[in-house]
Structure 1
Amino acid sequence: MATMHPYLNFDGKAEEAFNFYKSVFGGEFTFFAKMGDAPESDKLTEEEKNRVMHVALPINEHTVLMASDCVPSAGHVLKEGNNMYINLNTESREDADRFFNGLSAGGTIEMPMDDMFWGDYFGSFKDRYGIQWMVNYSSHK
C-alpha cells in the first residue's frame, strides 16, 4: 500500500505559490524549510539559500501538495515538463525499494534510494515514459 501526492518544482516562486495555495485551500504547512537549512548550504548564493527546499500543504486527509524550488548553481533548470513529480509514500523500506526498482527500470535514476539527512529513505527518477517520480519512506509518521 502506498499514497501518492503531487510534487511541484518552481524557479524561486515556491513560497509565493504555496502562500497563494494556502489562501485558497486553507490549513497550515506541515513542513517548510529553506535551502539555507540544508547541510553544506554555505556553498549556495544568498538568493538560493532563501529558496524553498521543501514545503507541504495538506489539501485533505488523503492528499498533500508538496514543492521545492530548483537550485541553479547545482545545474537545475526548470523547464516545462520537469515541474511536477508523483511522490509515492510507502509503508516500508522494502516497498520503497520494490516500487523504485520496478518503476525506474528502463528509466533514468536522478537520485538512488538512500537515507537522507532529514530522516527519510528517498530516491527519484524519470521512468521510461518520461514521468518523474519520487519514492519516499518515512519511519517517523
Structure 2
Amino acid sequence: MSTTTDAQHGPVPVKGGLVAYLALDGALKAADFYVRAFGAELASAIPPDEQGRTMHVHLYVNGSSLMLSDAYPEHGHPLRAPQGYTMTLMVEDIEAWWARALEAGATPLMPPTDMFWGDRYAQLRDPFGVIWAMNCQAR
C-alpha cells in the first residue's frame, strides 16, 4: 500500500487504485466542505502558508483517497476552473448522500433518477466548481 507523509503524524496510507488530486481555490475550505457533504475524513494536511494556501490535503472519501491543494501560480500551477471531469461516488443510499450534500451547500444539477442502464444516478456541483455524481447500482 502506498503512503503519503504527514509532518506531524508520519506515514498516512493511500486508499484506492486511482487517486484524484484537485487544485482548488481554498483547499482547506474544500476539505471542510467534503467532510460535511460526503462524510470525508481528514487523513493529513500541510499547514497553510502566510497567504492561507496549503500545498497538500489528504482525505478519505467513501473508501478512497482524495488529494487537494491550492493553486500556486508562482510555481507553475495556476488556478483553472474545473472542467472535463466528474467525480463519481459509488453509494448504497443515494438519497441520504444527496440530502447531506445539499444540506452542506452543494448545488443540485440532476436529482436522483432511475437511469436507462438500471442504476439510480444524480449530479451536483460543489462550492468550488467541481461536479460530483452519485451512482447507486441496481440490485
TM-score per shorter chain, which class?
0.3 to 0.5
The two structures have a TM-score, normalised by structure 1, of 0.41
- Structure having the higher helix fraction is 1
Give the structure, 1 or 2, with the largest relative contact order (CA under 8 Å, sep 6 or more). Answer: 1
